[in-house]
Structure 1
Amino acid sequence: MSQIAINTSQNVNINFNIASVGDRMLAFIIDLLIKIAYVIFIFYLFFNILDLGYLLTGLDQWSIMAIYIAITFPVYIYPVVLESMMEGQTPGKKLMKIRVVKIDGYQASFGDYIIRWILRIIDTSFAGVIGLVTMAISKSNQRLGDIASGTAVISLKNNINISHTILENIKEDYIPTFPQVIGLSDNDMRIIKDNYVKALRVDDRQIISKLSDKIKSTLKLEVDPTKMTERQFIGVVMKDYNYYTGKDN
């Protein structure tokens, strides 16, 4: 399986497995089935259960079309809304264990999802041939929407242990220090831990210092360096995050 090296804001490369074209297609099909199910349900609700078909009587073709578009509007915004809410995933992507990520190390923004959504129109043209061809010739399996938004779709199917995740071993009687960590996302914590582990491996004090400063700046924390070293601080932040989010063993 091919990989992509994502360069984080601390200039550390983290390797992720690229989602295969097959996984992306299956995720697309699952999402498509969900959207079809919604359309069937909403039309059955509108015309059969609520019996609101009479509202269309006497309306011109454009008005009827506008009502149909309004009823099915959730289908059109399905990908951009759910990817924003689920941190780069839709139900289909979640089932296939794939996720949209920003290739510069930051979490994809709503604007990135909008770009992917708009260019989906081109990517799915001609029965999706354009998107498939683009992914085939791209080394990171990126379609036009991915390339334009600077994103990629990665696989989360790795066989990993706790040292490769955002999880930290914490004792039952653990007492957290920084409640502000709840302002971080899973993606933020993953980047923090990946950078920290790599920096520890090569004893890169500069990266550890930059990472510590970045966390303090983001969370608006003031830490007395005489009472807690930078390494201790980062370790506490990771444990606190696990404590408050319930992500423990």
Structure 2
Amino acid sequence: MKTLQIKTAQNVNISFTLASVFQRLLAFILDNVVKFAYLYFGTLVFDFNLFQEGVGTDAWTVKAIDVLFFLPVTFYSLYTEILLDGQTLGKKIMHLKVMNVDGFKPSITDYVIRWFLRIVDFNFFMLLFIYVASMGLSDQYALIMVLFLIGKGIGFFLILFTNKNQRFGDLIANTIVVYLKDEVSFSHTILENITNDYVPTYPSVIKLSDNDIRIIKETFKTASKFNDYKTLIKLRSKILEVTQIKSVHKSDKDFISIVLKDYNYYTQHM
């Protein structure tokens, strides 16, 4: 498997294992099982066709219901990746995750770009496939199969031959898909998992160095695990001494946790 070395803003090197084309293909298949299950239950269990008849024979009404019914399938990869932090259900089962190439969480815009550009990797040719097939052109079987294979092949070969295993949507959105089982945990580095809307409290944390933060985090983790309050008090006092911070947190744990997150915030946005 390919690996990618990412140098963070804190000069920490993190190695990620890129998801292979076959792992992504399996995740894609699993996601389609979920989609087909939705369509099956919608049409069979909930008797979707009878529901259409119940609202009348107006063509526009029926078409509107069709559109609403297919919305969860159409936007499936977009809303699942946003809600599940870079994962669809298929990716979650396969332990895959979408990340920014710099190692950070993609923005919603990145997710939208990835979803929209599936039209290049797959959807455009799939639509042509459906259109030709719906025309009932039995003598155009070869053309139908070519369109289907082209749609499948573009994304497949881009992932296979690009340096970072990226399909077209990944290249434009500046994202990668990584294999989580070999991912370095945030807790093993000086990195903290902060949200995009995080608001820092202590600007003076920039007086600390990467090495200071690494020591603080390791000490904080150990002291918290064993409820070593004396060490936490000493650690807090040392941070206050070096940074001249005026703490607004009464709890030592809360204060040190915020200091770690603030340091990450400021070093990422400098």
TM-score when normalising by structure 2: 0.60
Q: Percent of aligned positions with the same letter in both sequences?
A: 32
Question: 1:176-222: CA deviations, max 9, x gaps?
Answer: xxxxx9x936xx9xxxxxxxxxxxxxxxx84346889xxxxxxxxxx
Distance 1:109 1:226, change over 3 A: closer
Q: Alignment partner for residue 97 of structure 2, among 82, 96, 99?
A: 99
- The one-letter amino acid of 1:135's match is I
Deviation, structure 1 residue 10: 2.7
Secondary structure of the structure 1 residue equivalent to 2:6? strand
Is this contact kept in 1: 2:35–2:73, CA < 8 A?
yes
SS at 1:154 equivalent: strand
Q: Larger % of helix: which?
A: 2
1:65 alignment counterpart: 63
Moved more, 141-150 or 38-47: 38-47
Larger Rg: 2
Instruction: Give the C-alpha shift of residue 78 in structure 1.
Output: 0.9
Unaligned runs of 5+ in 2: 126-149, 199-207, 216-235, 244-251, 262-270
Question: Which residues of 2 match residues 50-61 of structure 1 at below 5 A?
Answer: 51-55=50-54, 57-60=56-59
**Corresponding position of 1:151:** 175
CA deviation vs aligned residue, 1:113-163 (integer Å, no higher than 9, x gap): 0000000111114332111121122011100111111100001122x8xxx
CA RMSD of aligned residues (A): 3.7
Structure 1 residues 235-246: aligned runs within 5 Å: 236-237=256-257
Partner residue in 2 for 1:133? 157
Hey, which bits of structure 1, 4+ residues long, moved more than 6 A?
none
Task: Look up the match of 2:227.
Answer: none
- Residue matched to 1:215: none
**Unpaired stretches in structure 1, ≥5 consecutive residues:** 169-180, 189-204, 213-222, 242-249
How many angstroms apart in 2 are the aligned matches of 1:229 and 1:103?
Answer: 34
Separation (CA, whole Å) in 2 of partners of 1:23 and 1:98: 8
Quote the residue 1:44 is aligned against. Answer: 44
- Letter matched to residue 75 of structure 1: V
Distance across 2 between alignment mates of 1:133 and 1:226: 52
Q: Structure 2 residue aligned with 1:165, among 180, 185, 210?
A: 185
Residue 148 of structure 1 aligns with an amino acid whose one-letter code is I
**1:112/1:184 CA distance change after superposition, 3 Å:** same
Point out the more displaced range, 28-37 or 6-15: 6-15
Aligned residues: 193
2:173 partner letter? S
Task: Evaluate the alpha carbon distance shift between residue 51 and residue 154 of structure 1 in structure 2; reply closer, same or farther with a 3 A threshold.
Answer: same
CA distance in 1, matches of 2:214, 2:185: 18
Q: 1:6 aligns to what SS in structure 2? A: strand
